[in-house]
A and B are shown apart, each in its own frame.
Chain A
Amino acid sequence: MNIQHNIESERMSFWEKIYLPEIGRGLALTFKQMFKPSFTRQYPEEKWIPTGSYRGRPVLVLEEEGERCVACGLCSRVCPALAIEVRAGETDKVKERYPEKFEINMLRCIYCGFCEEVCPEEAIIMSKDYELVFTDPQDAILGKDKLLIPIAQLQDRLEYLRQYR
């Protein structure tokens, strides 16, 4: 008959078949790791702080005079996941347009950073915030109250954009 035999148990030697030396080698490796420096982190007590190049939750830059955003709607247009909804309103300031409503649906957001790239005012940027947990889909829609972050907290990302964009 045209059947080839290539069975594992036929290929293995006697010592390999009883497994004991292999178990010993495995235990030795584990034992060795115990004395090496540890790479794991005690999250959430111990947190990782990303560098400026990290693309976390998109946020709006809040300056002293108010938000930078002029509600041009380009982020909303470019967003491939339709996560952003902007509604503009009029103010008496020199920048006559402001976002009356600015909502990002974090269940839709894919962190691609297109909104940051297209923004003509550098008003929406990616933050370092990666802890996004929601218990209700409606909570995942972040409004202006959660999106506006003071510019002082966003210096790393702005510096990164200045250098590499």
Chain B
Amino acid sequence: MPQIIIDGQRIEAAPGQTIIEAALHAEKTIPHFCWHPGLSVAGNCRMCLVNVGFPKKAADGQPEMDASGNVFVQWGPKLSIACATPVADGMIVDTEGQRTEHAQHAIMEFLLINHPLDCPICDEAGQCKLQEYAFKHSNGKSRFIEQKNHKDKRVPLGPNVLFDGERCISCSRCIRFADEIAKQPALTFVQRGDHVTIQTFPGMEFDSPYSMNVIDICPVGALTSIDFRFHSRVWEMSFTNSICPGCARGCNVKLGVRDNELQRIEPRTNMHVNEYWMCDAGRLENYHFVNEERIAEPMIKGMQSDWNSAIAATADIIKAYKPSEIMIIGSSRGTNEDIHAIATFARETVNTHNIDFIDHNDPSFADEFLKLADRTPNHAGAIALGLRSNDAVTKDNLSERIAKHQIKVIIAVQEDVSAYASSVEYVIAIASNANPTTQSASIVLPASTYAEVEGTFTNADNRVQLIEPAVTTKENERHMGMKMSRWDKLGAFNDRWTQGERRNSRPTWNILSGISAACGNPMNFSRAEDVFNHIALHNQQFNGMSYALLEEYQGLKLGKASEPEAKSVVYESHVLKPQV
């Protein structure tokens, strides 16, 4: 194992690692633009130049020392780029000295020569690497008095990505991403010198299903999201850790919220699941239904009602029928907590085995990288927590059983069962968004979406991962540790930006424990964590798990809570710094 010294700190590096990698593993970031741990090394931005040296050795092979015992360092004739220099035993690296600093100042001045400095307009401002380094590693002076180069602005590279040539610093991260990760080599440099810019090959469009990742990895604002452009400044949003509900992969994401509205979704590094990436569909499809077409209040027979009467009415219906006449259709869109509550509700409160959930498989969605055919985030959790029973009415023989008048009540959680609605006496819908079922259902109970609840999802790899609430409802308004932007936190009742809708929705487990209590079988859960702790105690596969551990290890695999995978060093290219 080569040992190197970075800024006086001794670091054990793995053989073959580069200096910047070794430093990252020791939680020390060397300034860089073009290097990204998920991509190949290009070495063209020169920002990671560091002073590299070795101990000077005397004729007998021993290091030379001065009078006070310090080793003489033989520094290299020129600086080396940390991203492409492999470590060697005994190497001494200086990332903060005068020589390195001088080089960094020069590189920053060079990169800023043709940069338009339109930060007030640019969407990246606030989380921009160039902006950050201009403060940290630049002397803030430019000797360039000539006319700046003008290049193409607002060029769409594909359906979701807009390119601004003037802001580009030619780091080639997007080109390498397209070649290596998206496997769609559509981008390339054209022209030379300071006229260099990025284009798609003639007749090609950068329309890969992963194209929007280039927006995240672009160290400047050259690549922006057509969908998000100018919706909000980064510092006006709060970012909450969550899991993408778009498919069974369970990509780790951050939810950007402003004015209690979900503004954007961006990937969060988890080396065991999605690394640094996520698909465009995950970003674009999973925020509209949180903001729009929501069921905001409980409804009885299409009339707005309140929670107490809606729950009492539901309990009355359940008590009026035989258990075998009631069918509960759960959903693998819910969290593990929801699914446990559905299963407990069916087996213990209603006392029926008529419980199942509908698969949402879409083979056309799947690919070899991240996207999976199963479009629900918690299929594995639904199986593990017993949402499927093979011995009773299932959704496959449901229409047949209804025809024989054996099923009279359907309780549907987050599913559209309008096809059966006319053949049963009551449909009780627990749903977050309006659909044909909620229009005709006898009772509609508004459920919170994934962005509003605390809970866990189990992905296709059986990895249980934590989600936290980002959007406020009337139910979670006092959730501990809720992340809120300065405006959302300090706004008063008479500020216009606080006038966004607070929906009167509740998490599914909460609704079901309410109905259960009204039926005379209280579940005694007051928080999502209570439900999860109950699962962890009673379900073999979840044994030993807790929210704290899930957060610490970025998820744990079913049945393997005692042997978590090693924590990986999380590399975040550039993010908004925590607000003070």
Contact = CB atoms under 8 A, between A and B. Distances in A.
Interface string B120-142: 11000100000000000000000
B416 interface: no
Interface stretch (B195-203, B238-246, B430-438, B484-492): B484-492
B404 interface: no
Given A82-B491, A90-B229, A77 B235 contact: yes
B236 A73 contact: yes
Contact of A70 (B120, B231, B495): B120
A82 B495 contact: yes
A105 interface: yes
Q: Which bracket fits the contact residues of A?
A: 20 to 34
A90 B495 contact: no
Contact of B495 (A74, A77, A85, A89): A85
Contact of A120 (B120, B153, B491): B120
Interface residues of B, number: 21
Interface stretch (A1-9, A46-54, A95-103): A95-103
A116 to B, nearest CB: 15
A76 B236 contact: yes
Contact of A72 (B120, B154, B231): B120
B494 interface: yes
B140 to A, nearest CB: 15
B125 A72 contact: yes
Nearest to A85: B497
A141 interface: yes
A149 interface: no
Given A72-B125, A82-B487, A96 B154 contact: yes
B119 interface: yes
B121 A96 contact: yes
A137 B235 CA distance: 28
B230 A97 contact: yes
Contacts of B495: 82, 85, 105, 108
B538 interface: no
A71 to B, nearest CB: 7
A76 B491 CA distance: 13
A96 B495 CA distance: 28
B235 A120 contact: no
A162 to B, nearest CB: 20
Contacts of B120: 70, 72, 74, 97, 120-121
Contact of A95 (B119, B121, B154, B491): B121
B244 to A, nearest CB: 26
A82 B490 contact: yes
A88 interface: yes
B230 A90 contact: yes
A74 B121 CA distance: 11
A89 B230 contact: yes
A147 to B, nearest CB: 14
B494 A97 contact: no
Given A82-B487, A89-B230, A137 B121 contact: no
A70 B124 CA distance: 15
A71 B229 CA distance: 13
B233 interface: yes
Interface in A97-135: 97, 103, 105, 107-108, 120-121
Interface in A66-82: 70-74, 76-77, 82
A103 B494 CA distance: 13
Nearest to A108: B495
A89 to B, nearest CB: 6
B496 A103 contact: yes
Contacts of B154: 96
Question: B125, B154, B494 — which one has the most chain A CB atoms within 10 A of its CB?
Answer: B494
A137 B494 CA distance: 8
A71 B119 CA distance: 11
A96 B119 CA distance: 12
Interface in B459-514: 486-487, 490-491, 494-497
Contacts of B153: 96
B487 to A, nearest CB: 7
A88 B230 contact: yes
Interface in B230-262: 230-233, 235-236
Contacts of B231: 88
A140 to B, nearest CB: 9
A141 B119 CA distance: 28
Contacts of A103: 496
Nearest to B235: A77
A85 B233 CA distance: 12
A74 B234 CA distance: 11
B578 to A, nearest CB: 15
A97 B121 contact: yes
Most chain A Cβ neighbours within 10 Å, of B120, B153, B236: B120
Contacts of A72: 119-121, 125, 233
A82 B496 contact: no
A121 to B, nearest CB: 6
A96 B162 CA distance: 13
Contacts of B229: 90
Contacts of A107: 494
Nearest to A105: B495
B265 to A, nearest CB: 20
A74 B497 CA distance: 17
A22 to B, nearest CB: 53
Contacts of B487: 76, 82, 85
21 contacts: A71-B230, A72-B119, A72-B125, A73-B236, A74-B120, A76-B236, A77-B233, A82-B486, A82-B490, A82-B495, A85-B496, A88-B231, A89-B230, A90-B229, A96-B154, A105-B495, A108-B495, A120-B119, A121-B120, A138-B494, A141-B496
Given A82-B491, A105-B494, 17 more contacts: A70-B121, A71-B230, A72-B233, A77-B233, A77-B235, A82-B486, A82-B487, A82-B490, A85-B487, A85-B495, A88-B232, A96-B154, A97-B121, A97-B230, A105-B495, A120-B120, A121-B120
> 6 closest pairs, A vs B, by CB?
A72-B120, A88-B230, A73-B233, A97-B121, A120-B120, A70-B120
